[in-house]
Structure 1
Amino acid sequence: MRCSIVFILLAITFGRSLSQHCEVDESQHECGGYCYGAVKPVLEYLAILQKRVESCEAKQPADTLSKIALMDEKLDTLAGHMATQQYLEKRSTAKTHELEQQVAAVRQGMGEKIETLGKQMAIQQELESKSGEHVHKLELQLDAVRKERDEKLDTLQAMETRLQEKVKKLEQKLKLPKNFFKKIGSKYYYIENTNVRDWQGALDICQEMGAHLVSLQNEVELKALDSMLDPIKGYWIDLKKLEAKGEFISATTGVKGTFFHWWEREPNGENCDCVSLYRGKMGTYPCRLSKYFICEAYWVD
């Protein structure tokens, strides 16, 4: 387009200059040969310009097409980018929606977990409260047990002290010569025919002597011992009724007696819990009564 405009302007300029030149020469010379000689260089130059214009016009469509093709290519590339962007936006939207759903699910799950945790904490607090109360009760019980233990320890220590005193007395009594006790059968006995005591008093004296109230085990022992007793006196032996069971227990062994030789209608009578030996037979009497007694040594032949 630019080449055509330049060519037209040059042609107009040349036409005007030629017209002026010929008008001057017609007044003096003939126009034929002179004008041709003057115009020839111009015509040649115009021919050159014409070729240049044609060359310019021939190149211009190719450049334009190339530019158009380049623009089409850029448009295609841009369209591809836009399509990719739209695809990515769709993907991003879908992904965002998916993420939002996941976040909502996570929030819901977290909410449920928080609620569950809150319930667990409430239960734990309740258990801790109950545990505290239980611990307090256990501490009170433990204090009571400790107090009871201390009291029992004090009692045991007092008993130990008394037992040690008794052991000392027994040791002194055990130093008594054997002839202090009289051998009857295979055992040794001390028969008290002078002083009387209630059943408990008789038991204490025998223990102080390092012996115990006589504990008859069979009829042979009974007959052998009875032959040495005063027939008009009664003697305490180690049997005593245990009220809870109604059984006669040996104070020597702590268990139920194994040998009994009762008078007729014995044992009988209320508050007659202690056993006395009279004329080779056993009878029950109130333990508070005063009677003679028989001590049996622990050693035998």
Structure 2
Amino acid sequence: MNTLFVCLLASVLVVYGCEDNLQESKQQDTNCVNYCSNIIYPVLNVTKTLQNQVNDFNHQNKCLSQFENTNKLMEEKFASQDKKIEQKLRDLNTTSEQIMHQIKLQGKQVEQQLEHLQKAEEVKKQIPGPPYQQIGSKYYYIEESEEVNWFGAVNKCLIIGGNLVSFENQDEFNAIKGKLQAGKDYWIDLNDLAEKKKFISVATGKKPTYSNFKSPEPNNNGGDEHCVELYSELGHLMNDTPCSMKQLFICKFRN
């Protein structure tokens, strides 16, 4: 009996002891949960956030690295293109210089051709056609039939692009004299219509560089001799005579 009682008492004590332990364990679990909720979980959340940030940072670094690689490739590509462009520009400059040089050469050739053409044109202007003929180095027209007064002779020569002849030297006079008809008189351009005894060339308005009056000519015989002829009776030397006389004339081409 006593033994049974002792066993029951022991069993009750064990049960109460277990309940106390169970309650203590539950309290510890509650304290652990509260600790985790208040301390560990926030730390874990911060850690997770930091880990996410690290992951983002690594991702950004990876993107940045890719960007840098891409940028480097682009820079190398642009540098290569720049070199190609620079080379093309140098080639273009060289080509442009060559073209400009050719243009200058062609321009000089054109200028030379124009100069030749101008000279040829000038020479052409100095070589008249009929009725002029070359005597010596110049061109003359010697009228063979129509006789006019001195003023008419001046006009006739102007119409065909010349002036009444004015001799520059003895050689020119001798060359013309050999073409003249015997017994015929010819008008030349000397006159003293502006001022008596001061004979000038109607073509130049100046005193002649050459004259061959035979004394006593010019003498203004009768007070009306103001124009000059090549007088056949004096061997076609110069003589003053009235301007109204009608006779042949000699034109010199005006260039």
So what's the TM-score if we normalise by structure 2? Answer: 0.47
Structure number with larger C-alpha Rg: 1
Greater fraction helix:
1
So what's the TM-score if we normalise by structure 1? Answer: 0.40
Greater length-normalized contact order (CA 8 Å, ≥ 6 residues apart): 2
